[in-house]
A and B are shown apart, each in its own frame.
Chain A
Amino acid sequence: MTGSRTPAPATYVNPYAAGVVLGLLLFASIALAGRGLGASGGFTVAGTAIVAAVSPEHVAQHAYLSEWAPHGALAALTDWSLLELTGVVIGAFASARLARRQRAEVEHTRQESSTTRLVQVIIGGTMLGVGARLARGCTSGLGLTGGALTSTGAWIFMAVAFATAFATAFLLRWFPSSVILAPAPVKR
């Protein structure tokens, strides 16, 4: 490797090892704080906090929104799930930086443009938000935490979500009109 080149990014860790460490973290979180890991709750708190900052009355009068920020926009900043999500961003940022994986880019396949990918992400991301809210959790809060606690709803969620995800990915690959939406090519 020449001196002018930046060193190659570190390789990803063994997925089983990562999973075991993640499981121990999940256990520690439940044992120490009485609650597991989650992500989608933080999104709802953040969104509600923004709405509450613009119109506090709207949130206060809204039966469901008020549950997410019961003491206003400022208090929502000390909400567990939002702080945890902030931690996720900090931890991921530090880790990516240390592993030399920090890159301003849009991940997309060779067949699709950045714009197509971003449109896909906007549609998919909104669906993730809607779905996670309706299901009362996402792959972290329901999948990992609910899965480990053997919650019935969590396992129903996991089964349906992954079945739909595999089916959708399959359809995206075979629908001629959406070839550009195809998942990333396999890199061996």
Chain B
Amino acid sequence: MPPFPVDTSVWLALPIGVAFGAILERAGLGSARTISQQLSFANWTVVKVMFSAIVTAMLALFWSAQLGWLDISRVAIPETDVIPQTIGAAIFGAGFALASLCPGTACVSAASGRRDGLVAVGAIAIGSILTAEFWPALGKVAENAPRNSATLATDLGVPAGAVVFCISLLAIAAFLLAERMEHPVQIEQTRSVLQFISSNPIVVALVLSVLAALQRDTVSGQRLLTTIAGEIGNEADHVEAIQLGDWIRQQRPGVRVVEVVESVADVNPDDYTIPGSAAVSLVDIPNLQVLQADTLVLYSAGGTHAAQAWVLLRARGLPSVFVLRDGLAAWEDEIMSPAPPTDSSVSSLARYQHARELQRWFGGTIPDQGNVWSAPTAPPRSGKPARRRRNTC
């Protein structure tokens, strides 16, 4: 046995890779020429291969989950982190055009003997490792608000089948455009379109996607519940007090802090609350007026109501809901009166300084100077977040 853990299904990686490489090579995607011609709209191989692969796999996944053959909730859905992904995609796209290769096809090109492919492989590895090396320094450009199982269906609040249907239509439209641009002088345009649409694979794809659109959304409901359970399991349901402090201070758009209470009428207005938070009773949580894009942070006196509200809101399909870890107590300990670090390591010192900055901003007290409860109820210099959120919640 090796002295480190080995993934049990790892033996599959090599044969899957071999098949992947062979298919890319057979389709001509190991040649920068093919990709370059796609980018000048002369040869639509890239679009055709990618869209047919996506639609085939998407329909197979949707239907095998729908028929109960595959537990889709155990499949890791690639993370969504909009800002870094948009920046990354723009850099990637420009590099794609310059090199006329992408990471996978660069390997295929190199394996076909092409020297430019080999150079591309080296350059991609260097670019990757440099980014990884400077990852902490990149801050929000690298890591802004990663979300684990965000799908178009959960983010847009539509059934998964509807998304499948729309993507299939988009693919067929792209294929028609591709055929048209590759054969611009064809006289009987309408007939060739009809011929293409009525070809067997397209008909199969169309039928499967229309049926998908008609499916009741049981799978995505089940998937959501399993996703929620998974998030609880891997602690993705929590946000740290420091993080929340940063969000409020930076006025991150869409952040709303909610204190979940038994009944709003019983709330003592003199009790300390997190600046900008609004009290909402647990029974009103399912009807809370929020936007899909909002980031909700929940806390409650005992923590139980916040956790219950979290499940309710996630089950409603809101993608970005967090419970403040250790509730108001953590806010008071970590932000309003941060304790000096017990060790002198650079990281805990930096954390302490960061907490002190937040403390000053939120107007907390220095621990030995007395009572936390005397802290003001709103940030001192900017009352904006408080007012804005109170109005909207």
Contacts and interface: CB of A to CB of B under 8 A. Distances in A.
A130 B138 CA distance: 12
Contacts of B6: 75, 78
- Chain A interface, >50% SS class: helix
A39 B45 CA distance: 19
Interface residues of A, number: 130
Contacts of A25: 16, 19-20, 23
A179 interface: no
Nearest to A142: B78
Interface in A100-142: 101-108, 114, 117-118, 120-142
Interface size class for chain B?
A: 35 or more
Nearest to B100: A183
Given A127-B95, A147-B54, A150-B164, A138 B104 contact: yes
A43 B128 contact: yes
A186 B151 contact: no
B136 interface: yes
Contacts of B104: 37, 39, 88, 138-140
Contacts of A159: 89
Interface stretch (B35-43, B265-273, B307-315): B35-43
A12 B27 contact: yes
B128 to A, nearest CB: 4
Interface string A156-169: 11111111111111
Given A151-B80, A152-B151, A135 B92 contact: yes
Given A20-B201, A96-B30, A125 B119 contact: yes
B77 A121 contact: no
Interface of A: 12-13, 15-16, 18-37, 39-40, 42-44, 46-48, 50-51, 62-65, 68, 71-72, 74-75, 78-81, 83-96, 99, 101-108, 114, 117-118, 120-169, 172-173, 181, 183-184, 186-187
20 contacts: A22-B56, A23-B58, A27-B64, A29-B16, A30-B75, A35-B76, A65-B132, A80-B7, A87-B16, A90-B14, A92-B22, A128-B92, A131-B94, A149-B78, A153-B82, A161-B89, A163-B93, A166-B39, A169-B39, A169-B97
